Chain A
Amino acid sequence: GENVEQHPSTLSVQEGDSAVIKCTYSDSASNYFPWYKQELGKGPQLIIDIRSNVGEKKDQRIAVTLNKTAKHFSLHITETQPEDSAVYFCAARRPTGGFKTIFGAGTRLFVKA
């Protein structure tokens, strides 16, 4: 079955620096790769996504890149702010079998002021 690995598990950056989180997936049939942000006591919230026919997508300070050949995708956050501190999950979804979304284990991001 599909497996999504995420690194690092914890990331600490200084305010204003960039943060990069990397994920790999195993199922080459996966075609949709969302990123979710989870704050304490809340459910995950979608912040950006990318489809397999696109190599890069940007939304203000966040961007995602996808390398289909290597089955890698990454989240980039620039000019980090304290409110970016949260747990970030990558995920992969295959287009068959009920569109199951498989999540990575998460990265806890600390942004130090």
Chain B
Amino acid sequence: EAGVAQSPRYKIIEKRQSVAFWCNPISGHATLYWYQQILGQGPKLLIQFQNNGVVDDSQLPKDRFSAERLKGVDSTLKIQPAKLEDSAVYLCASSHVGDPTNEKLFFGSGTQLSVL
């Protein structure tokens, strides 16, 4: 079974530039998550999708971050304009909600963003 695919693996941009990350979840996983992981910290949820609908985006800085999952499969996360404090690893995860009591997260390898 293929895992969660993310691209690019690394991205270096200057502040005020824009950047986009892509994620392809495990086939059949209806729930998709974007997490931000700042160096030395645990992953922090930015947004959660159920199919193509948003379940939770309470921690997403909506003035600069946006995300979409148009056909309920792939997802993109965009930052515009980027700030220095956005430097982090952006992790995508997916889960199968067939059994709500068994929702294990499967993570991709992440995109490491450096904002200079």
* Chain A residues proximal to chain B, CB less than 8 Å: 4, 6, 32, 34, 36, 41-46, 49, 51, 89, 91, 93, 95, 97-106
Contact = CB atoms under 8 A, between A and B. Distances in A.
B104 A34 contact: yes
Interface stretch (B12-20, B36-44, B67-75, B78-86): B36-44
Contact of A43 (B4, B40, B56, B101): B4
**Chain B binding surface, main DSSP class:** loop
Interface string B1-25: 0001000000000000000000000
A32 B101 contact: yes
B93 interface: yes
B56 A105 contact: no
12 contacts: A43-B108, A43-B110, A44-B43, A44-B105, A46-B105, A46-B106, A89-B42, A91-B42, A99-B100, A100-B56, A106-B40, A106-B42
B108 to A, nearest CB: 5
Nearest to B92: A43
B76 interface: no
A104 B100 contact: no
Given A34-B104, A51-B101, A43 B93 contact: yes
Nearest to B104: A46
A44 B109 CA distance: 8
B100 A101 contact: no
